[in-house]
Structure 1
Amino acid sequence: MTGHIEPMVGRYVHVAIDGEMHRIYFEESGAGIPLVCLHTAGSDGRQWRHLLADEEFSKQFRIIAFDMPWHGKSNPPASWTGEEYRLTTARYTATIRAFCRALGLEKPVVMGCSIGGRIVLNLAIDHAREFRALIGLEAADFQAPWYDTSWLHRPDVHGGEVCAALVSGLIAPQSPDVSRRETLWAYMQGGPGIFKGDLYFYRVDGDLRGRVGKIDTGLCPLYLLTGEYDFSCSPEDTRRTAASIDGASVTIMEQLGHFPMSENPGQFRRYIAPVLSEILKQSTISTKQGAHV
């Protein structure tokens, strides 16, 4: 055999979300601590392919990336009849929790980027005991909108191209051209109005100002990592948010923008490796302490 086969395997799981079944596509690799990865607004789980293919990480972690309903290979639910898609905090939270239950994941780590980073904060506020650790990439309690979402779903505008154009400036200048193009390609393929619907959560429904102070990192460690070139969720946004959370870990990632895991996977690895190592270490300590009780 001359072809190189990557280690991740893709499957579908049927998940009940708010009483309705959804057919959700996910890819996974490795074994060990479950690590669930959440993609950005308007994109899909392909953003995590480099992490899924990382042989070193997969020795200790069961890495899982799923496409949210309406995204990638996950269709809308059968009841959808074409009405406008709008992601809400409650729906997003329910989807993540239902997916983890459907796969029988015991205290998984959840890592999300952008809208995934925002929802990680909500998981820390309301459901911290369900998770081993939470990692927010490009995460803050709120960002003032800098875009006009009406352009993202118009009959006279190519939705995919305008979505990719909108986010293109969020990629750091040091990112390899091939990775830049791949990151934007997923945006060009998004469903009509889906990026706009995700941004309803990001700019309206998911405002967590005044709530993040409730996060108890003693119940669940929280790691926040933001690229220095991200002007959507700027380093200042992340630092401001973390200032209200006792014990939150903050790292500003050099030479990275809003899509660290896909725009420059090698550079991102430098920053996520110590975080995963710390989670593994703490998990090992907890297991040993539990064995002695």
Structure 2
Amino acid sequence: MEHTSTYLTPEIKLSCYEDKLFKTEVTFEHHMLIWFISGETKIVQAEASYLFKAGDIFLIPRNQLATIINYPKDGLPHKTVVMHLSAERLKEFYANLEGVHKASPTPKIHRFTHHPLLESCLASLIPYFEMKQPFPANIASLKITEAISILRAIDQEIDGVLANFEEPGKIDLVSFMEKNYMFNMPIEKFGYLTGRSLTTFKRDFKKAFHTTPQKWLTQKRLELAHYQFAEKKKNPVEVYFEVGFENLSHFSYAFKKQFGYPPTALLEQRTRR
């Protein structure tokens, strides 16, 4: 896979994927403001899926589980400008403001397709990626401040996201896992997002589900895959990414071990009907 990232600063980069497909499961440490130059991205979260194409601009809030699948499109690479909005940068920004209404944050992705102000702000960064000398830190700071200011001007809910600096607190483990089991995260990350240490997470998980996290996660993902095949009529290549498996051969092996037949058997059954 040919992937390049050109950084102006640790907070601003130009990302490019040349290969057919790239998939990852993430929780972003920082809010991510992304402008699509070319290509296509599918983002799968517990309660919604999104498809983004050239010209789209969107903000992904931090600490939200998501499966990200990047594709080239129309012969062009998957190419984006990405701006990290760190807690440190945002604290500095909001420290200079008074009377900010901090509504309850929403985990949804905020979409700003073809918004002229944001597009102009992010497109103005493109020439700097071609410069050989270092990008001036003061200009980087101005650009990030400009982007935050535009977001606040065009989205009344954005303060609830950007001005919220709380870390995940201890939440109900059962409801969280039932909602997010399809994301292939390290067990430590599940623990962090439910407000627990690794040891406490494993103890609470055993108490709630009477098995280990890994066994439970594998079973739940395979059950979801079976449902997608049988009821949604999807193909294995469409499904194995979205249910938390890294490659098709491992998924097919685990599926057959669980159900006694491979995923292709369901496809053959459908074609005979």
Normalised by the length of structure 2, the TM-score is 0.30
The TM-score with structure 1 as length reference comes to 0.28
| Structure of greater relative contact order (alpha carbons < 8 Å, 6+ residues apart) | 1
